[in-house]
Amino acid sequence: MTVLSVGIMAVLTGVLSALNLQKDAALRYRAGLILQETLAETALTEYDGQPRQGLSSDGVFSWSVGGEPWVGAPRIAPPRREAKTEEDKEHVEARALVSNVLQVRVDVSWETSKGSRRVTATQLVHVRLAEETP
């Protein structure tokens, strides 16, 4: 009887462990889908680099998006036009130093019984500046 009860306990422990692993995998999968969707949204819409946050529709996942100029991006040449005023000159010079490529970081996090979990991804996104023509 003792051997049988030890065997049953081992099987039940294995089943519970497998269920926990399956639940964790399902949550990671859903977090990955939210991550992909958010990255695609920043690439396909006019993302301006401002931080954004949100929750999934079921409230399980929270996400945040932040963008900053990409350090390795080439600098934009100033527009080929003459500056008429001193203020216009400053604008043309400042425009020459601006990069129109952002490094966007997306974080998706959720809580589990073992603590907080998180997945993160970065992506380069081209942003259209006001002076660029479509």
Question: Rounded mean pLDDT of 18-30?
Answer: 93
For residue 9, the one-letter residue type is M
Q: Which residues contact 27 (CB under 8 A, 6 or more apart)?
A: 60, 110, 112, 117
Instruction: State the pLDDT at residue 91.
Output: 55
Quickly tell me which residue has 């009887």 as its tokens.
1
Instruction: State the pLDDT at residue 132.
Output: 45
Which has more pLDDT, 79 or 109?
109
Question: Rounded mean pLDDT of 4-23?
Answer: 93
CA distance 87 to 96: 15
Question: Rounded mean pLDDT of 47-65?
Answer: 90
What's the pLDDT band for 43 if we cut at 50, 70, 90? Answer: confident
Strands lying side by side in the sheet with 115-126: 52-55, 61-69, 101-112, 115-126
By C-alpha distance, which of 75, 80, 104, 101 is closest to 92?
80
> Given CA atoms 98, 43, 53, 118 in this order, what sign does their dihedral have?
negative
60-101 residue pLDDT tens: 999 999 988 887 766 655 555 565 666 665 555 555 445 578
Can you say how many angstroms the Cα of residue 100 is from the centroid of all Cα atoms in its chain? 18
Rg (CA), the chain: 25
For residue 96, the one-letter residue type is A
What's the pLDDT band for 102 if we cut at 50, 70, 90? Answer: confident
Question: pTM for this structure?
Answer: 0.67
Tokens at 103, concatenated: 């490094």
